[in-house]
Amino acid sequence: MGALHVGHLSLVELARKRADLVWVSIFVNPTQFNDNSDFEGYPRDLEADLEICRNRGVDLVYAPEVEDLYPVGDQTRVGVGDLAEPLCGASRPGHFEGVATVVARLLLAAKPHVAIFGEKDFQQLAVIRRMASDLGIDVEILGGAIVREPDGLALSSRNARLGPIARKQAVALVDALDAAERAVANGERARDALLAEVRRHLETATQATLDYAELRDPDTLEPVPPALDGPALLALAVEFEPDPDGAGKPVRLIDNRVLLPAQP
């Protein structure tokens, strides 16, 4: 949706390795916003994004207007069932219907052979894969690894909206992921014990409110059993309030990691 940063450009580089031509779509999609004021206030700087794409050798930028993708009289939406209900879907009803709808329309317009989406939005990637498969869209969906800032925080255009205190506290997300990964490497398999360790680290971020910290099956997004018996997605979402002397709206951050218990 624009506001391009190094994380987005890593997807461009991955695309360059897989294809002769690299196209980038830039479109702030109205149907995935629950609050119209968030849609209206979403950062837009198309000229800056275009310059970034030129410098990275992008062959074409597709930047449609709303009416190009949602023509007058438009009534069709794409839903993706159970995958869209937990995690971010629980607190953002209708969000993933908007995502699936716009990505289906972008894929049908561009007809790429490969389409690449960041793994930071793990649930979004799962929804898009399921949607493309179910609708028989002839495209290979790939995930691009999370790109992180020097202190480990996952790159996001939202990071710039964090006040100084919140920015320092935001590393609690990656600290929690690291702690869970260490615990699993040391033999911990109990779901509740792992989540308790995760929450202990997240509680150090006193300006943050926890939305969710959950362990889910990476493929189905179903809850994992009480004792991990295979790969488990640890997914986190928190909302940071503005610094006490700051202004602006809360900032929601997400992060994740797939934990891989050693097999006996």
pLDDT in tens, 129-170: 999 999 999 999 999 999 999 999 999 988 988 999 999 999
Cα separation, 77 vs 75, in Å, equals 7
pLDDT given at position 246: 60
Is the pLDDT confidence value at 233 over 70? yes
Please give the DSSP secondary-structure letter assigned to residue 158.
G
pLDDT given at position 245: 64
Q: What is the largest CA-CA distance in the chain?
A: 58
- Smallest CA-to-CA distance from 219 within 203, 208, 230 is with 230
pLDDT given at position 247: 64
Give this prediction's pTM: 0.94
Cα separation, 172 vs 197, in Å, equals 12
Cα separation, 253 vs 173, in Å, equals 9
Q: Is 136 exposed, middle or buried (0-12, 13-18, 19+ CB in 10 A)?
A: exposed
Residue 189: phi, psi to the nearest 5?
-125, -10
pLDDT given at position 37: 83
| 141 touches 125 (CB < 8 A) | yes
Q: What is the dihedral of CA 243, 247, 249, 254, to 10 degrees?
A: -30
Cα–Cα distances (Å) from 198 to 4, 97, 133, in that order, read: 30, 30, 34
Cα separation, 18 vs 83, in Å, equals 28
Please give the DSSP secondary-structure letter assigned to residue 85.
S
Q: What is the pLDDT of residues 165-214, one digit of tens each?
A: 999 999 999 999 999 999 999 999 999 999 999 999 999 999 999 999 99
8 is a catalytic site residue:
yes
The helix/strand/coil state of 214 is strand
Tell me the sheet residues that pair with 174: none
Average pLDDT of the chain to the nearest whole number: 95
The per-residue DSSP string of 21-45 comes to: S-EEE----GGG-SSHHHHHHS---
Position 263 confidence tier, pLDDT thresholds 50, 70, 90: confident
pLDDT given at position 127: 98
The residue annotated as part of the active site, out of 5, 8, 95, 201, is 8
Domains of the chain with CATH codes: 6-144 (3.40.50.620), 157-259 (3.30.1300.10)
Please give the DSSP secondary-structure letter assigned to residue 136.
T
Q: What is the pLDDT of residues 36-86, one digit of tens each?
A: 888 888 889 999 999 999 999 999 999 999 999 999 999 999 999 999 999
| 218 touches 83 (CB < 8 A) | no
Tell me the sheet residues that pair with 240: 208, 251
Lookup: tokens for 223: 């809850």
Is the pLDDT confidence value at 244 over 80? no
